[in-house]
Amino acid sequence: MKPGYKKNNHPTILIVEDSPTQAAKLKYFLESKSYQVETASNGNEALKIIPELNPSIILSDILMPGMDGYELCRIIKSDDKLNHIAVILLTSLSDSEYIINGLLCGANNFIVKPYDEEYLLSRIEYIQANLELRKHGQSQLGVEIYFSGQKHLITSDRIQIIDLLMSTYETAIQKNRELEKAKDELSKLNSQLAESNKELETFAFSVSHDLRSPLRHIDGFISLLKGKINDQADDEVKHYLSVISGSAKKMDSLIDALLSYSRTGRTKINITGLDPNEIIRDVINELGPQCVGRKINWNIEQLPNVQADPLLLKLVFQNLLSNAVKFTRKRDTAEISIKYENKNGEIVFSVQDNGVGFNMDYAEELFGVFQRLHNEKEFEGSGIGLANVRRIIARHGGLTWAVGYPDNGATFFFSLKK
């Protein structure tokens, strides 16, 4: 018995931990429960004080410099004078091999890090209650097992094996409870997020709708003002009025786009089997005015039927094809291709053009609201179209992505169920 200790009903515990902070914290907790506690900073130091201290239980970290917890436990359990000491290993237990290594070195129990102090206390009390049973119930018959392609001879006594299995089982139960708690919290957060998104969309819809009226008043009164002053205003005043009118029209266009984006999140989806070829023909016909005076080669494969909402899928192709027409404007001959590929039970569509392309460093920004990678004076637009595409495809359970190179075209992909 180490000098200074007094005998009581609690066993002496040796903590082997290379972290002084963790060792001090654990020592303080156990001493508050009336245990007699000593600490060692590593396995070698522990072996020097064990004969004098004669602890009943050793709490040892596994990962330590010099000598790890497995080796310390193995030395203790192979010594006839020390093998009565119960060894509890502290580990993250992130791999099943920890159990095998624990059995091979003769450990009595695992405690998972980070551990709950009350759980640790229950494990110590359990070991304490079974110390006498272990003295009378040992059996050193070896059992050969194969694990991860290697053969191991397990000679731990039956109670030790049961202890390890019980601690592993309790760890699994504890982890399962933590997962269930995390799952419940995640479900609540998802519900809150859905509600917040709904409120945000309602707010955006309301604000956008309310902004249109004053904008139309501005534009209307600008027209009246132009009529009033007629030829009396100089060129500078006329320019100012023109800028104000143009800005009002642009704002009205942005509000229309924002309303459209809000509707795609609020509209109920009507999934049905449909032929995308018909949708594409309609969209190309509607794009006719933008194609006047241009040479455009449409390379369109015969596309398979898919499950989708007809109106929303049409909006997807409207955005992608109008972009392809717009960003190939500087080409003598525009090449626009629509293809598909079967992948893992889905149809992956692609819309490819030989236009101005984009830098792949900013590929994800393309799908953000009001995100633009090109000068607005050069290529008009609201910056909402591709955000709408991503939202619509996401609501169908699909993915969207893009590949492009500066001045060398772009390809936009999206996936749908067959």
DSSP string across 269-321 = P--EEE-HHHHHHHHHHHTHHHHTT-EEEEEE--PPPEEE-HHHHHHHHHHHH
Residue in this structure with the two tokens 């091979």, named with its chain if needed: 104
368 secondary structure, DSSP code: S
Q: What was the pLDDT predicted at 411?
A: 93
Please identify every stretch of the chain with a pLDDT value under 50, giving residue numbers as ranges.
1-8, 138-148, 152-155
Q: Given this model, what pLDDT does residue 93 score? A: 56
pLDDT at site 97: 67
Q: What is the CATH number of domain 269-417?
A: 3.30.565.10
pLDDT, position 399: 92
Neighbour-count burial of 149, counting CB atoms closer than 10 A to its CB (0-12 exposed, 13-18 middle, 19+ buried): exposed
CA triple 42-44-50, angle to 5 deg: 95
Enter the pTM of the model: 0.46
The fourth-level CATH superfamily of domain 12-156 is Response regulator (3.40.50.2300)
Predicted confidence at residue 262, as pLDDT, reads 65
How confident is the model at residue 237, as a pLDDT?
A: 79
Contact present, 66 and 42 (Cβ < 8 Å): yes
Domain boundary assignment for the chain: 12-156, 191-253, 269-417
- Residue environment code for 107-128, b if the CB has 16+ CB neighbours within 10 A, otherwise e: bbbbbbeebeeeebeebbebbb
Within its chain, how far is the Cα of 46 from the centroid? 43
Q: Say if residue 395 is exposed, middle or buried (CB neighbours under 10 Å; 0-12, 13-18, 19+).
A: middle
